[in-house]
Amino acid sequence: MQKVAIVTGASKGIGRQIAKTLAMQEIKVIANYNKSEQQAKELKQELQDKGFDIDIVQADVSTKQGVEKLVNYTIEKYRKVDILVNNAGIAKPGLIIDVTDEDWQELINTNLYSAFAMSREVAKSMINSKCGLIINISSIWGEVGASMEVVYSITKAGLDALTKSLAKELGPSNIRVNSISPGIINTNMNSNLTNEELAEIKDEIPLEKIGEPEDISKCVKWLIEDNYTTGQVISINGGWNI
């Protein structure tokens, strides 16, 4: 039976590549987007041209309504969710003295609440079928903390705690939960960095390069094939954290 996967934030960057990789594995992908409708439509077309059909669903997963819309769509159409990739996320760099309560709430809701609420909704179906895989895309900054990204780092550390707790709670139902924790990946999220800043970062990375979205999607593919890894934070960062 064909597997069904939801990927949040799949219109761009890492999520887009994960959606492509899974679709090309003959998995039915529900690719979520919020604002980037055009990019989502282009993704659907690109995959259709290759012979793969995905569903694209607009939903703001930072809200309860958005989460329910996305999960209800999937369950009503496919009756199950086998794989959930909580990838949607935003960054808002700045000094702590400049971070507003609105910034805090937006980051918490988008990066952390979304993953909690999505996991809560899909867990109901996964527990029934006694099978499932949840992957949270966290970040190196959740592991080591980032100056000028305090709230972002908090959300990502929270995701890793969500991963470990859920892995314990849902393991007996044969549901695996893992984090993939990227270092720096070549996406829009880093488009604010100058070439000089990127060169400085590369200097700090043992493998001396910036990662690509494929480096993350390959790990998602591997976690789908695996069946004995759970509760882990898998760091993919060129050795940046050692």
Q: How far is the CB of 223 from ligand NAP (least distance, A)?
A: 15
Q: Is 153 in the site for ligand NAP (CB under 6 A)?
A: no
Q: Is 107 in the site for ligand NAP (CB under 6 A)?
A: no
Give CA angle at 108 (232, 124), nearest 5°: 60
Instruction: Tell which one of 21, 139, 163, 235 touches ligand NAP (CB under 6 A).
Output: 139
Q: Is 236 in the site for ligand NAP (CB under 6 A)?
A: no
Instruction: Tell which one of 60, 82, 143, 149 touches ligand NAP (CB under 6 A).
Output: 60
Nearer to ligand NAP, 12 or 28 (CB): 12
Q: Is 178 in the site for ligand NAP (CB under 6 A)?
A: no
Q: How far is the CB of 184 from ligand NAP (least distance, A)?
A: 4
Active site residue 73: no
Catalytic residue among 33, 78, 152, 228: 152
Number of residues that bind ligand NAP (CB under 6 A): 29
Q: How far is the CB of 129 from ligand NAP (least distance, A)?
A: 25
CA distances from 235 to 51, 57, 73, 240 (A): 33, 29, 32, 9
Q: Is 87 in the site for ligand NAP (CB under 6 A)?
A: yes
Instruction: Tell which one of 5, 11, 47, 132 touches ligand NAP (CB under 6 A).
Output: 11
From 31-39, 93-101, 124-132, 218-226, give the range in contact with ligand NAP by CB under 6 A.
Answer: 31-39
Instruction: Tell which one of 21, 32, 119, 235 touches ligand NAP (CB under 6 A).
Output: 32
Give the residue from 80, 63, 37 showing the smallest Cα distance to 117: 63
Q: How far is the CB of 105 from ligand NAP (least distance, A)?
A: 12
What is the residue-wise DSSP string for the chain?
---EEEESS-SSHHHHHHHHHHHTTT-EEEEEESS-HHHHHHHHHHHHHTT---EEEE--TTSHHHHHHHHHHHHHHHS--SEEEE---------GGG--HHHHHHHIIIIIIHHHHHHHHHHHHHHHHT-EEEEEE--HHHHH--TT-HHHHHHHHHHHHHHHHHHHHHGGGTEEEEEEEES-BSSGGGTTS-HHHHHHHHHHSTT-S-B-HHHHHHHHHHHHH-SS--S-EEEESTTTT-
Which residues contact ligand NAP by CB under 6 A?
8-9, 11-15, 32-36, 60-62, 87-90, 110, 137, 139, 182, 184-185, 187-190
Annotated active-site positions, please?
152
